């Protein structure tokens, strides 16, 4: 069987949903694009022709006082210096880690909904 992650879905109240959309578009450079006409308001955010993040308005989802079991999701990308510059310019706290055995630099931060995000960069160092 061949399997891969198709997209990440984030469901929040509309005000936070718009903030999350702006974060992924302005900070990570994703583009708001085509989304089928669903019954609930939302956005699909694209990297190239791939809708990586689906955002849906929801009044039944809410912030938790404690972190759940899902720690973060991860992207693989190029352009480490550009991402660090964008995070810095938007005053977003992050941490980096380097895995020598994989020649991989990881950048960890949280989006406005408090969801953990990792971006991995092969053969790029901070």
Average pLDDT of the segment spanning 101-115? 96
Q: Which domain covers residue 13, as residue numbers?
A: 1-60
Instruction: Give which of 76, 85, 62 is closest to 105, Cα–Cα.
Output: 76
Q: Which residue has the tokens 């938007």?
A: 90
Which pLDDT band, with edges at 50, 70 and 90, does 43 fall under?
very high
Task: Report angle CA 28, 58, 18 to the nearest 5 degrees.
Answer: 35
Which pLDDT band, with edges at 50, 70 and 90, does 55 fall under?
very high
User: Which long-range contacts (C-beta less than 8 Å, at least 24 apart) are formed by 86-94?
Assistant: 86/26, 86/27, 86/28, 86/29, 87/27, 90/26, 90/27, 92/27
CATH assignment at residue 79 = 3.10.180.10
Q: Is residue 7 part of a domain?
A: yes
The pLDDT assigned to 10 comes to 95
Query: How many domains is the chain partitioned into structurally?
Result: 2
Tens digit of pLDDT for each residue in 63-82? 777 777 788 999 999 999 99
78 and 45 in one domain? no
Q: Is residue 3 part of a domain?
A: yes
55 and 1 in one domain? yes
The pLDDT assigned to 65 comes to 75
Q: How far apart (Å, rounded) are the C-alpha atoms in residues 66 and 79? A: 33
49 and 1 in one domain? yes
Which pLDDT band, with edges at 50, 70 and 90, does 59 fall under?
confident
How remote is the C-alpha of 17 from its chain's centroid? 13
In the predicted model, what is the mean pLDDT of the chain? 94
pLDDT at 31 over 90: yes
- The structure's pTM equals 0.91
The answer to whether residues 32 and 17 touch, using CB atoms and an 8 Å cutoff, is: no
């Amino acid at each position: 069987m061949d399997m891969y992650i198709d997209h990440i879905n984030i469901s929040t109240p509309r005000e936070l949903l718009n903030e999350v959309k702006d974060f992924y578009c302005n900070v990570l450079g994703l583009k708001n694009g085509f989304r089928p006409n669903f019954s609930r308001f939302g956005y699909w955010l694209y990297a190239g022709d791939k809708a990586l993040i689906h955002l849906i308005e929801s009044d039944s989802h809410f912030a938790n006082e404690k972190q759940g079991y899902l720690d973060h999701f991860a992207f693989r990308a190029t352009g480490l210096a550009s991402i660090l510059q964008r995070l810095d310019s938007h005053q977003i706290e992050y941490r980096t880690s380097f895995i020598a055995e994989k020649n991989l630099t990881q950048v960890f931060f949280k989006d406005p909904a408090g969801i953990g995000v990792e971006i991995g960069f092969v053969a790029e160092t901070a």
